[in-house]
């Protein structure tokens, strides 16, 4: 069974030097989806935006797949305008 290495990137770079044996690219995609979902679930509270990326290499070191997730959490425009107005009035 082929071995794949999944490097992950957010505020920390984690290079996979162990890898995992997976039967095919469909299985790799599923592991990458779960990895990114886990990273998103562990999102650092209080950060307004974060990007999570995974890069997959095969046994020969060739890049075969990349995936990324971007999350942006922002206040509604009306709320931002109201807060700005309050700050100007203070």
Please count the other Cβ atoms lying within 10 Å of the Cβ belonging to residue 50. 16
Number of H helices, E strands in the chain: 2, 5
Please count the other Cβ atoms lying within 10 Å of the Cβ belonging to residue 43. 14
Indicate the Cα dihedral angle 19, 25, 29, 30, nearest 10°: -80
Residue 55 belongs to domain spanning: 3-89
Walk along the chain (90 residues) and give the pLDDT tens digit of each residue. 999 999 999 888 999 999 999 999 999 999 999 999 998 887 766 677 889 999 999 999 999 999 999 988 887 777 766 677 777 776
CA–CA distance, 12 with 79 (Å, rounded to integer): 32
Q: How many domains does the structure of the chain reveal?
A: 1
């Amino acid at each position: 069974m082929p071995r794949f290495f999944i490097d992950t990137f957010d505020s920390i770079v984690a290079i996979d030097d162990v890898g995992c044996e997976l039967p095919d690219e469909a299985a790799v995609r599923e592991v990458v989806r779960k990895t990114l979902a886990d990273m998103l679930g562990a999102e650092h509270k209080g950060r307004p935006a974060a990007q999570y990326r995974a890069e997959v290499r095969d046994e020969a070191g060739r890049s075969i797949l990349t995936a990324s997730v971007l999350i942006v959490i922002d206040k509604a425009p009306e709320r931002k305008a109201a807060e700005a107005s309050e700050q100007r009035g203070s």
